[in-house]
Amino acid sequence: MSGNSIGKLFCVTTFGESHGPALGCIVDGCPPGLELSVADLQRDLDQRKPGTSRHTTQRREADEVKILSGVFEGKTTGTPIGLLIENTDQRSRDYSDIAETFRPAHADYTYHMKYGLRDYRGGGRSSARETAMRVAAGGIAKKYLKECLGMEVRGYLAQLGPIKVRRLCWDEIDNNAFFCPDPDIVPELEAYMDALRKEGDSVGARINVVATGVPPGLGEPVFDRLDADLAHALMSINAVKGVEIGDGFACIEAKGSCFRDEITPQGFLSNHAGGILGGISSGQSIVAGIALKPTSSLRLPGRSINVRGEPVNVVTTGRHDPCVGIRATPIAEAMTAIVLLDHLLRHRAQNQHVHTSLQPVPAEL
């Protein structure tokens, strides 16, 4: 129950640092009888892993996951699933500069202030490398949701810097390096990223996640609302600075007469609420969006201080993502799936039946 666990019934606890020997996690609470193999998890891991295109960090990690427990004869047994990924590309380099310096906008300063010491190699625990385990654990959740209930959790890049997606073609997402659903803007994205890399700068992004086939009734009043737990899970992703459910911040200027999603016997007429009413799923698609800040690891020098409080100039020379948002899509999917499965199990505990929903309105872009 310390800070490295998420979920009450489907509970994921991760460990591992960027440049330690391995990353790992324990998935506790997965129902028994689910067919599960390494192959089920590897696809999402491959999507998240670094070095797959010139637009992401050139660190090379195989990110091959091992299942150490909880699966027997190809099926989950109900006991905790231990997962492990060994770090293979921790270059032996000299960290003495970074050891004493607080890189601006990194967790260096806050970890140091919190703990009094820190593993400074590649950001240690604060590195996004930890999210590999989230993707692995989320893969289990996604498989269960899909096989047992037909639910699907899918994400996509909705905006990269100033470039916004204009149409949502689900089939296109895997056809480019950006998880972009709009093939028309892919050349634009590539040109933008190439220029950015030359500048030595970075930029933010927006990822949307949509869950379909969600039964109504998931979510608990009043604190563990489904949207509150999604906000927690999504905000826990490195670099995320904002979370929206449904229309999100656009609701501020909306009138109630337009915003409320009216219902007919044939289904909801709109989905401004993003599939959640009173913290509980309505059976419509769950729609969430997140904003990811630009990475702070830049070749452009920045002012900061060292552990002695002296001013220093920081230039990042390591391998970094100019847009951390690009690789965040499978992570956002994973976190969403973990929350949904956790709430499905919580719902089942208290309520005997999982209801069928009204025909949901399709989620719009």
Point out the annotated binding site.
48, 54, 125-127, 238-239, 278, 293-297, 319
Q: Which of 41, 56, 63, 102 binds a copy of itself (CB under 8 A)?
A: 102
Q: Which of 51, 183, 213, 302 binds a copy of itself (CB under 8 A)?
A: 302
Interface with a copy of itself in residues 268-287 (CB under 8 A)? 269, 272-274, 276-283
Q: Give the interface segment with a copy of itself, choosing from 57-65, 88-96, 111-119, 167-175 (CB under 8 A).
A: 111-119
Q: Which is nearer to a copy of itself, 171 or 344 (CB)?
A: 344
Q: Does 221 bind a copy of itself (CB under 8 A)?
A: yes
- Per the document, the length of the chain is 365
Find the shortest distance in angstroms from Cβ 119 to a copy of itself: 4
Tokens of 81: 């699933």
Q: Which is nearer to a copy of itself, 51 or 259 (CB)?
A: 259
Binding pattern to a copy of itself, positions 161-200, x when CB under 8 A?
A: xx--------------------------------------
Q: Does 14 bind a copy of itself (CB under 8 A)?
A: yes
CA dist 113 to 245, 269, 285, Å?
33, 51, 42
Q: Give the interface segment with a copy of itself, choosing from 55-63, 139-147, 173-181, 288-296 (CB under 8 A).
A: 288-296
Residues annotated in a binding site for NADP(+): 48, 54
- Which residues 6+ apart lie within 8 Å of 351 measured at CB? 217
Q: At what angle do helices 329-350 and 38-48 cross, to 10 degrees?
A: 140
278 within 8 A of 292, measured Cβ to Cβ: no
Q: Is the peptide bond before 222 cis (omega within 30 degrees of 0)?
A: yes
From the list 168, 194, 179, 170, the residue with the least C-alpha distance to 328 is: 179
Q: Which of 149, 177, 186, 228 binds a copy of itself (CB under 8 A)?
A: 228
Q: Which of 193, 245, 331, 361 binds a copy of itself (CB under 8 A)?
A: 245
Q: Give the interface segment with a copy of itself, choosing from 5-13, 37-45, 137-145, 180-188 (CB under 8 A).
A: 5-13
Q: Give the interface segment with a copy of itself, choosing from 39-47, 56-64, 183-191, 346-354 (CB under 8 A).
A: 346-354
> In this structure, which long-range contacts are made by residues 106-114, counting pairs with CB atoms below 8 Å and at least 24 apart in sequence?
106/296, 106/297, 112/307
Q: Distance (Å, rounded) from C-alpha 245 to C-alpha 211?
A: 12
Please tell me what DSSP assigns to residue 306: B
275 within 8 A of 281, measured Cβ to Cβ: yes
Interface with a copy of itself in residues 21-40 (CB under 8 A)? 21-26, 28-33
Q: Which is nearer to a copy of itself, 140 or 234 (CB)?
A: 234
- Which residues 6+ apart lie within 8 Å of 246 measured at CB? 271, 272, 273, 274, 275, 276, 287
Q: Distance (Å, rounded) from C-alpha 9 to C-alpha 28?
A: 8
